[in-house]
Structure 1
């Protein structure tokens, strides 16, 4: 695609199961608009809700930056499940009439990968609400391991660790499992008096997957306090994530760097430390969030360089005085 003189702006959207981040930058990587909304995984939310979320976020970042749609040279949507034919067809039907050849669609794993490799080959290990290992090899071939969703997989994810945490508390309440500090932490966190109230709390929740994922933070707290059961849960999660990476490396057949992404690995968590201790491969901890990887992908799609200066600008997106626009109510 050839740029015209008027088109010098780029939109990136990083859409996962629980939230979506959008950003707008110029051709030099300077970010001038940010927005955040609900999750945009079409496999876990109704498509019409996802479509509205994406549309509103694109409008928000343009409005915030004072940029018209006709001034945008590229839009990169990195969405969970977007590499599946049916999902890609939904996205194209909704947005191709507006954006045409400026629209680029890919899996959100690619966005997370590019936040660490800036377009170079590699493997990304994502442990957020869900989990997946995703490789883009040197020959362009792709390999994915895991990412089967909370009903069929997501081992080592926030959901999986959070669910195991709640299950451990319920087993202790029943007398089937050992007593654990997790019981006290979970009751306080959810504001309930005893574990049998978890039934009403989770089964009536509009998003039980997200609520259970939040419990993974309590496993970290309990493990840091020396709780033996919580320590085992963290180790189990690290082993599961390590298995995803090792399997993906075997399938790719190449010595590729591994980028760590997702809420459980972006910070210096006990889970990340355990994973790093057992790793036998080069690890990259990104300085930029996945939405910056989306912007890098948008620039690369029109053959603009992502050089050292552009990388620095994209990586500094949170410290350049750009305020986030988080009007979640507009997305309901």
Structure 2
């Protein structure tokens, strides 16, 4: 294998993590760059972002002038949801010449491979959005379209939770909804007078709607204090996660196995006991032997471990890479933060 055997990429809406790895598992360089989602940037914009990221990675490895294509490129990207995404994104990546061989997968598989030493199981990512994938020991996979309301994804992740929190606060104020602590806490977070002032700021663009994601901790706090409206919001997220995992294990016919269930994303990394306990209890009803892990490694590690296995590297290479490819090596403090400052 070439000394630059592997290019591993975990690309999302807000950030892209990239790593260059030698055939023996040595990390040559790792960087974090802006997002590369083709759904948000368009295909040309996504490729432009990836070109910039790979150039930065090459420079970090000290190979900007001499680096050629890697032996294998593993791209785990947000928005690889349908076969049409496999085809058009794969074709665009092949045209870039980043690597001689190419593997293109949904970014949830990177989370799964990073969190499951067995290389199979179920992964749930609950951050800005919500998604799930499953992989059986024999290689059969399950994934979901994850296209929002048009694909039946009515309950999502942190952004959904924030929007609903604002909506419930407004309804409490005008009499359409039940009283809730959110009526006070939501405008307080943004330094505004009342929920309608927040809604007006979002409507006029003074606050970006994506900033409502930052209300998730406010919802957790209100629920922990006994607020029934906030609790119902969290219960909705729990129910959707449990439904996704249950459907996945049934479709893969692995419900009777000790299924690794990897939990990641800002909501699940928050450590909120009500959310995590609800998810664990619900999943165990569907898969009684399920084994849970809240992912503490960057998902790009999963993309890289998958790539090393494809190249025939052994366990020593995987262990070496697992020690070296960390959030610290990416210059990141940990999983993506839930809280974004108000615009």
Give the TM interval when normalised to the shorter protein. Answer: 0.7 to 0.9
| Residues 243, 84 of structure 1: alpha-carbon distance in 2 compared, 3 angstrom cutoff | closer
Q: Which runs of 4+ in 1 moved over 4 A?
A: 204-209, 319-322
1: CA distance, partners of 2:15 / 2:328: 22
2: CA distance, partners of 1:308 / 1:163: 46
Q: CA deviation at 1:300?
A: 1.9
- Name stretches of at least 5 consecutive residues in structure 1 with no aligned partner: 326-332
* Correspondence for 2:39: 43
Conserved? CA contact 2:308–2:318, under 8 Å: no
* Correspondence for 2:341: none
* Correspondence for 1:246: 246
* Correspondence for 1:135: 134
Partner SS, residue 268 of structure 1: coil
Tell me how many residue pairs correspond in the alignment.
320
Selected match of 1:299 from 308, 318, 325: 308
* Correspondence for 1:330: none
1: CA distance, partners of 2:217 / 2:91: 39
The 5 A counterparts of 1:225-304 are 225-254=225-254, 255=257, 256-270=259-273, 271-280=275-284, 281-304=290-313
* TM-score, length of structure 1 as denominator length: 0.84
Establish whether residue 185 from structure 1 lines up as the match of residue 196 from structure 2.
Answer: no
Establish whether residue 223 from structure 1 lines up as the match of residue 226 from structure 2.
Answer: no
2: CA distance, partners of 1:207 / 1:60: 32
- 205-214 or 249-258, which moves further after superposition? 205-214
- 48-57 or 143-152, which moves further after superposition? 143-152
Q: CA deviation at 1:293?
A: 0.8
- Name stretches of at least 5 consecutive residues in structure 2 with no aligned partner: 285-289, 334-343
Alignment RMSD = 2.8
Q: CA deviation at 1:103?
A: 2.6
Conserved? CA contact 1:41–1:80, under 8 Å: yes
| Residues 201, 126 of structure 1: alpha-carbon distance in 2 compared, 3 angstrom cutoff | same
Q: CA deviation at 1:286?
A: 2.7
2: CA distance, partners of 1:44 / 1:20: 13
Establish whether residue 103 from structure 1 lines up as the match of residue 102 from structure 2.
Answer: yes
* TM-score, length of structure 2 as denominator length: 0.82
Instruction: Tell me: higher relative CO, structure 1 or 2? Use CA pairs within 8 A at least 6 residues apart.
Output: 1
Cα displacement string for residues 279-316 of structure 1 (whole angstroms, at most 9, x for unaligned residues) = 312223333121111111221221222x2663464255
Partner SS, residue 226 of structure 2: coil
* Correspondence for 2:75: 77
1: CA distance, partners of 2:225 / 2:251: 38
* Correspondence for 1:328: none
Cα displacement string for residues 121-148 of structure 1 (whole angstroms, at most 9, x for unaligned residues) = 2111121222122111122111124623
Partner SS, residue 249 of structure 2: helix
| Residues 321, 288 of structure 1: alpha-carbon distance in 2 compared, 3 angstrom cutoff | closer
Partner SS, residue 38 of structure 2: coil
Q: CA deviation at 1:8?
A: 2.8
Establish whether residue 196 from structure 1 lines up as the match of residue 157 from structure 2.
Answer: no
Conserved? CA contact 1:146–1:244, under 8 Å: no
Partner SS, residue 75 of structure 1: strand
| Residues 304, 267 of structure 1: alpha-carbon distance in 2 compared, 3 angstrom cutoff | farther
Cα displacement string for residues 206-262 of structure 1 (whole angstroms, at most 9, x for unaligned residues) = 995632333222212222333332122112211111111111111111133211122
